[in-house]
């Protein structure tokens, strides 16, 4: 297991993302609500750069007790990152593909050492 420096934590703002090249690995590192997440940058669909696109809240639909729909809204709790090639959406906290949660991007361990952030592969 080797480690690769991602950068200084103090320079990594909430909502930022970095792509780290590490041997054969290409890793997307996100900072969201203070936490760091790192996933393979190879989309499970056709291999696109899964971590390089938009981040956007999950879209949900509100269904009332009588089963009528109150329409669409953005989730307050679940954020997705979206592969820019065709739009596969991934849960930023788990790396699960939200259309089929059995599919998961490879997750990398993130290590904080003082002000430095590393990923381990």
The residues binding ligand FES (CB under 6 A) are 43, 45-48, 50, 83, 85-88
Instruction: Establish if 55 lies at the interface with other proteins (CB under 8 A).
Output: yes
Q: Which is nearer to other proteins, 62 or 86 (CB)?
A: 86
Exposure class string for 91-117: b at 16+ Cβ within 10 A, else e = bbeebbbbeeeeebbeebebeeeeeeb
By CB under 8 A, tell whether 32 contacts other proteins: no
**Least distance from C-beta 53 to ligand FES, angstroms?**
8
| Residues 33 to 52 in contact with other proteins, rule: CB under 8 A | 42, 46-49, 52
Tell me the C-alpha distance between 43 and 90, whole Å.
Answer: 10
Q: Which does 15 bind (CB under 5 to 8 A by kind): ligand FES, other proteins, none?
A: other proteins
Token representation of residue 22: 């590490």
- Strands 89-91 and 3-8, bridge-based pairing: unpaired
Q: What is the DSSP letter of 105?
A: P
The Cα–Cα gap between 39 and 57 comes to 18
Can you give the binding site for other proteins, defined by CB under 8 A? 15, 42, 46-49, 52-57, 74, 82, 84-87, 89
């Amino acid at each position: 297991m080797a480690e690769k420096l991602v950068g200084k934590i103090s320079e990594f703002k909430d909502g930022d993302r970095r792509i780290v090249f590490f041997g054969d690995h290409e890793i997307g590192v996100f900072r969201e609500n203070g936490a760091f997440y790192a996933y393979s940058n190879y989309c499970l669909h056709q291999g696109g750069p899964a971590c390089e696109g938009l981040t956007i809240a999950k879209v949900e639909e509100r269904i009332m007790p009588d089963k009528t729909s109150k329409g669409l809204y953005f989730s307050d709790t679940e954020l997705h990152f979206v592969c820019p090639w065709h739009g596969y959406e991934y849960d930023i906290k788990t790396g699960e593909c939200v259309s089929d949660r059995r599919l998961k991007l490879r997750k990398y361990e993130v290590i904080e050492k003082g002000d430095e952030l590393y990923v381990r592969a």
